[in-house]
Amino acid sequence: MNLFADPPQGKARVTGGLLGVAGAEAWRGVPGSFEADGPVTTALLDLCRSYTSFGGDDSPVNVAARHQGVPGSAWLLPIPVALSGRRVIDETLELATAAGATPDVLDAHLTYVTLAAELLAARPVEQAIETATCKPFASVVDRATQRAGGTEPSRPRLVGIAAIDAVNAGIWALTQSRYLLATLAASLAHWCEPWVAAAAAGLLGLRDGCASVPAQWYRRVRAAQECLALAPALLRVDAGLRARSLIGIASPASSIAS
């Protein structure tokens, strides 16, 4: 499959999501202006490695505890790629709490991860937002958007709480239906803190695939090659965990039979 020419599917979506996070955190909105990997990208990559190591010593919860205080929700994006079903909810709550999230923002983390899961499954944006928020689409968009006024265009409604801002910026970006990530990246860099821009760009990358990521991000973002390598491995995690569970269930019976 050509990740850049074909319609976005699993591998292209995950690659776009990871690169969206890493690129938006690193880019400062000016051509050629990139920072080194920030706290969100560092936590994101560590979590990806934890899921794909299959039995390594660094468990996801240990990774989360090591990244205490990491801002926003974008680093949790690998959860709905690697896991499925109820495990996505449980893992989100456990990892966010281990990283220092307070109870009042856990719902925002869950909303972000559920929205990521819906986009990965190729749900339409309106349906994805309603499922993630359990609220009518129009009211959610209204709450997430600072309306245009005078010469000012619309922009995300930011309240200064990283997890909530991550959701609002993501919803605003997803509902700018005429634009893709490559076009919206400059607006996100202008209005948002890097970790908030990262969260929104990660969702756009999941929706539109890696072909939507600005070309210079592939060349200039230090984490780009690792994102490309980790995406297919993440997609294999859930199948591997299910296989291990089946083997674990079958083993006692096999031992008795022998």
93-103 pLDDT per residue, tens: 999 999 999 99
* pLDDT tens-place string over residues 33-54: 898 889 999 999 999 999 998 6
User: Cα(54)–Cα(237) distance, rounded to whole angstroms?
Assistant: 8
**Region of poorest pLDDT, from 13-22, 63-72, 84-93, 142-151:** 142-151
Mean pLDDT of 100-107: 98
Angle between helices 162-174 and 181-191 (to 10 degrees): 140
**Which CATH architecture group holds 10-257?**
Orthogonal Bundle (1.10)
Indicate the SS3 state at residue 177: coil
Mean pLDDT, range 127-154, rounded to an integer = 92
Q: How many CB atoms lie within 10 A of CB 32?
A: 8
So what's the pLDDT on residue 9? 63
- Whether 256 has a pLDDT exceeding 50, the answer reads no
Q: Give 24's pLDDT tier (boundaries 50, 70, 90).
A: very high
Contact 44, 71 (CB under 8 A): no
CA distance 166 to 107: 12
Q: Which residues contact 243 (CB under 8 A, 6 or more apart)?
A: none
Phi, psi of 115, deg, nearest 5: -60, -40
Domain boundaries, the chain: 10-257
35 backbone dihedrals φ, ψ, rounded to 5°? -95, 165
User: Can you tell me the distance from the alpha carbon of 17 to that of 122, in angstroms, rounded to the nearest whole number?
Assistant: 13
pLDDT for position 155: 94
Please tell me the predicted confidence (pLDDT) of residue 145. Answer: 95
Structure tokens at 106: 């856990």
- 208 pLDDT higher than 80: yes
So what's the pLDDT on residue 1? 46
